[in-house]
A and B are shown apart, each in its own frame.
Chain A
Amino acid sequence: QSALTQFASVSGSPGQSITIACTGTSSDIGGYNYVSWYQQHPGKAPKLMIYDVSNRPSGVSNRFSGSKSGNTASLTISGLQAEDEADYYCTSYTSTTTNWVFGGGTKLTVL
């Protein structure tokens, strides 16, 4: 069982916006801004999409945005495109001995 909780799947139609949630505790998401999000296409390595809750690395589309409220972080993808279909993982620093925890992943299907 992952330390961070994500819904297993989400879907949306091209052009729509979707939000993927990631729930933790006050020891991780709620206590620190070290939340990052990764996109993973089948058979590929994860790609950093968001760091520090809401910052995008250079080259990542501004259709991707991140936020946090309490113990829950969210990734929003606007203007859905077919290429956005992938698995998305959240991760956070944690003050527990684990140091870093991943969510279980959310599979995004673009209908």
Chain B
Amino acid sequence: QLQLQESGPGLVKASETLSLTCTVSGGSISSSSYYWGWIRQPPGTGLEWIGNVYYSGSTFYNPSLKSRVTISVDTSRNQFSLSLTSVTAADTAVYFCARHWLQFLAFDIWGRGTLVTVSS
């Protein structure tokens, strides 16, 4: 059964870069049927889509974050990664990675999420 697991620092200093990795197990990230995405959830609030990557490396991002976000894929390691630059307290959130089902455009499998706190 396919599983996703986020990893990375739980604490990042303001103005620095947040970096997270999502490891896919139980299946291949190179499937043509899926995108791979990042979604975040600030404490006590709703979900915000950050961006998606395809196994080929093509990406698309939420315009509100686009200038600061890079999502990349490493098919040899079955991983994809998120980089968010110049973070502020507003970037404090639980960050989820998820599989995005291409045919129906739905996030069908999610990681457990990881809390990233931006400190001043």
Interface residues of A (CB under 8 A from B): 2, 34, 36, 38, 44-48, 51-52, 55, 57, 89, 91, 93, 97-105
Residues of B35-50 whose CB lies within 8 A of A: 46-49
A-B complex: 10 closest residue pairs judged by Cβ atoms: A51-B106, A36-B106, A45-B110, A34-B105, A105-B46, A51-B104, A102-B47, A100-B49, A97-B63, A104-B46
Instruction: Check A46/B107 contact, CB under 8 A, given A99-B49, A102-B46, A102-B49.
Output: yes
Of the listed residues A2, A93, A99, the one surrounded by the most CB atoms of chain B closer than 10 A to its CB is: A99
Q: Are A89 and B96 in contact (CB under 8 A)?
A: no
Cα A93 to Cα B101 with chains together (Å): 12
User: A48, B108: Cβ atoms under 8 Å?
Assistant: yes
Is A98's CB under 8 angstroms from B104's CB?
A: no
Q: Given A36-B104, A98-B62, A99-B60, verify A89-B110 contact (CB < 8 Å).
A: no
Of B49, B106, B113, which contacts A101 at CB under 8 A?
B49
Q: Are B46 and A2 in contact (CB under 8 A)?
A: yes
Instruction: Check if B112 is an interface residue, CB within 8 A of chain A.
Output: yes
Contact B46 A46 (CB under 8 A): no
Closest residue on chain B to residue A37 by CB atoms: B106
Contacts of A44 in B (CB 8 A): 112
Contact B110 A47 (CB under 8 A): yes
Q: How far is the CA of A47 from the CA of B105 in the complex (A)?
A: 14
| B46 and A45 contacting across the interface, CB-CB below 8 Å | no
CB of B21 to closest CB in A, whole Å = 17
**Which one of B63, B105, B107, B113 lies within 8 Å of A98 (CB-CB)?**
B63
Residues on B with beta carbons closer than 8 Å to the beta carbon of A102 = 46-49
Give the complex CA separation of A97 and B62 in angstroms: 8
Sample of 16 further A-B pairs with CB below 8 A, known A45-B110, A48-B107, A102-B47: A34-B104, A34-B106, A36-B104, A36-B105, A36-B107, A46-B110, A48-B108, A51-B104, A51-B105, A51-B108, A57-B108, A98-B63, A99-B49, A99-B62, A102-B46, A105-B47
